[in-house]
């Protein structure tokens, strides 16, 4: 039996990927220009929209060029120290730093240079390391997944701003939920991030998904399009429906109960837990409304015009609602109406 080409693991690059070529090209061109027109991009969107996979694919493209060094950092770690350790752990780079008499033994990194005083400030050490890499025509791409506003992140972002002012060849890709990116941008000392461009990952193209399903399952275009529409373009739903359809020998109707259960257990439960009472009231109105009109939703949810505006805007920014049509909203998540209706009645 051949391997299932669809992946259920969050963040892991699956065998079947729908490329976001336009967004990737924007980042690659901005980073590669001389001088670079941007050195930071923040990738945001709802859980399961493909942020991590998109960042991984973009980094992989840059890594094909020998001048690029790609470093992945854990957002929960000591970001500055971990960056220095990662750079020093590569043999070729370590020789560059030793030849430049950069002694990092103070940090326990192990890069000791006899006759050279150990550097005791991690930001100073990184400035010297990046300057050395610049002299060797190297560029550093730092990737941080699922950022949150921590002390380590604030220290890292502050140092990164200085590195940019020093004209050092350092670039940053960060992924995060809307609220976490927003908190970081609004931090008093990090307002430079407010001007950093954001890539908001929207739903995948339905016709592209349909074409993928048609080829993988060898089905006609009509059935492939029906499958694609079930996903609503939601990246994780594309993987989940494909996975269970594969397990059911290409019968997507047999896969639907498994698809629904998996989405509820591994995506919707978490999204629901993060919603406020007001968010849930509005979501219930959307779930019960057949028209999607604001007037009907407000009536069903029993909320005022002001409450509607606040909760609507928040859920749109978080990627849960699509408000692109004036006066109407709808869920971006497949079968979320059923989940909301059930959970609200229990709530």
Q: What is the pLDDT of residues 179-204, one digit of tens each?
A: 999 998 888 777 778 888 999 999 99
Given the DSSP bridges, would you call strands 321-322 and 330-331 parallel, antiparallel or unpaired?
antiparallel
Predicted pLDDT at 234: 96
Confidence of residue 347 (pLDDT cuts 50, 70, 90): low
* Mean residue pLDDT across the chain: 92
Predicted pLDDT at 25: 96
Long-range (24+ apart) CB contacts under 8 A made by 240-249 are 240/6, 240/8, 242/5, 242/6, 242/16, 242/212, 242/213, 242/216, 243/4, 243/6, 243/7, 243/8, 245/213, 245/217, 246/4, 246/5, 246/6, 246/216, 246/217, 247/4
Enumerate helices (H) and strands (E) in the chain, giving the number of each.
16, 7
CA separation, residue 67 to residues 108, 134, 140, 186, 255 (Å): 27, 10, 9, 34, 46
- CA-angle at 58, arms to 71 and 23, nearest 5°: 140
Cis peptide before 35 (omega within 30 of 0): yes
Is there a contact between 258 and 252 (Cβ–Cβ < 8 Å)? Answer: no
pLDDT at 136 over 70: yes
Predicted pLDDT at 111: 57
Is there a contact between 201 and 167 (Cβ–Cβ < 8 Å)? Answer: no
| Residue pointed to by tokens 């350092």 | 170
Q: What is the pLDDT averaged over residues 101-120?
A: 71
126 closest CA partner among 151, 149, 150, 93:
93
Is there a contact between 54 and 201 (Cβ–Cβ < 8 Å)? Answer: yes
Is there a contact between 203 and 233 (Cβ–Cβ < 8 Å)? Answer: yes
Q: Which DSSP helix (H) or strand (E) runs through 89? A: none
pLDDT at 170 over 80: yes
Predicted pLDDT at 344: 85
Is there a contact between 320 and 271 (Cβ–Cβ < 8 Å)? Answer: yes
Is there a contact between 133 and 93 (Cβ–Cβ < 8 Å)? Answer: yes
CA distance 20 to 198: 14
Predicted pLDDT at 240: 97
Predicted pLDDT at 123: 94
Q: What is the pLDDT of residues 21-58, one digit of tens each?
A: 999 999 999 999 999 999 999 999 999 999 999 999 99
Q: What is the pLDDT of residues 271-327, one digit of tens each?
A: 999 999 999 999 999 999 999 999 999 999 999 999 999 999 999 999 999 999 999
Instruction: For the chain, list the domains and their CATH numbers.
Output: 21-200 (3.40.50.300), 214-272 (no CATH), 276-346 (1.10.10.10)
Cα dihedral 279→281→282→288 (10° resolution)? 140
pLDDT at 258 over 70: yes
41 closest CA partner among 184, 177, 195:
195
Is there a contact between 122 and 85 (Cβ–Cβ < 8 Å)? Answer: no
pLDDT at 85 over 60: yes
Predicted pLDDT at 114: 55
Is there a contact between 69 and 159 (Cβ–Cβ < 8 Å)? Answer: no
pLDDT at 110 over 70: no
Q: What is the pLDDT of residues 8-21, one digit of tens each?
A: 887 777 788 888 99
């Amino acid at each position: 039996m051949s391997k299932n080409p669809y992946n259920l693991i969050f963040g892991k690059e699956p065998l079947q990927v729908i490329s976001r070529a336009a967004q990737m090209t924007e980042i690659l061109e901005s980073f590669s220009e001389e001088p670079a027109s941007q050195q930071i991009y923040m990738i945001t969107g709802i859980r399961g929209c493909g942020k991590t996979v998109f960042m991984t694919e973009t980094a992989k493209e840059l890594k094909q060029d020998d001048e690029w060094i790609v470093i992945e950092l854990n957002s929960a770690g000591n970001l500055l120290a971990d960056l220095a350790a990662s750079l020093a752990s590569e043999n070729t780079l370590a020789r560059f730093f030793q030849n430049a008499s950069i002694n990092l033994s103070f940090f326990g990194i192990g890069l000791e240079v006899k006759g050279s005083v150990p550097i005791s400030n991690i930001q100073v050490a990184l400035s010297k390391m990046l300057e050395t890499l610049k002299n060797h025509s190297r560029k550093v791409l730092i990737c941080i997944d699922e950022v949150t506003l921590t002390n380590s992140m604030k220290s890292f972002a502050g140092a990164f701003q200085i590195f940019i002012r020093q004209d050092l060849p350092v670039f940053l890709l960060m992924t995060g939920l809307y609220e976490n990116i927003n908190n970081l941008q609004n931090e008093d000392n990090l307002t430079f991030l407010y001007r950093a461009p954001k890539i908001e990952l929207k739903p995948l193209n339905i016709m592209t998904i349909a074409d993928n399903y048609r080829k993988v399952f060898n089905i006609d275009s009509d059935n492939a399009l029906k499958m694609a529409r079930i996903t609503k373009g939601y990246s994780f739903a594309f993987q989940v429906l494909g996975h269970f359809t594969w397990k059911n020998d290409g019968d997507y109707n047999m896969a639907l109960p498994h698809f629904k259960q998996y989405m509820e257990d591994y995506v919707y439960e978490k999204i629901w837990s993060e919603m406020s009472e007001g968010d849930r009231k509005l979501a219930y109105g959307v779930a019960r409304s057949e028209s999607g009109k604001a007037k009907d939703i407000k009536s069903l949810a029993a909320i005022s015009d002001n409450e509607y505006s606040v909760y609507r805007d928040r859920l749109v920014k978080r990627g849960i609602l699509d408000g692109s049509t004036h006066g109407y909203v709808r869920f971006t998540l497949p079968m979320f109406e059923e989940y909301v209706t059930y959970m609200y009645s229990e709530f």
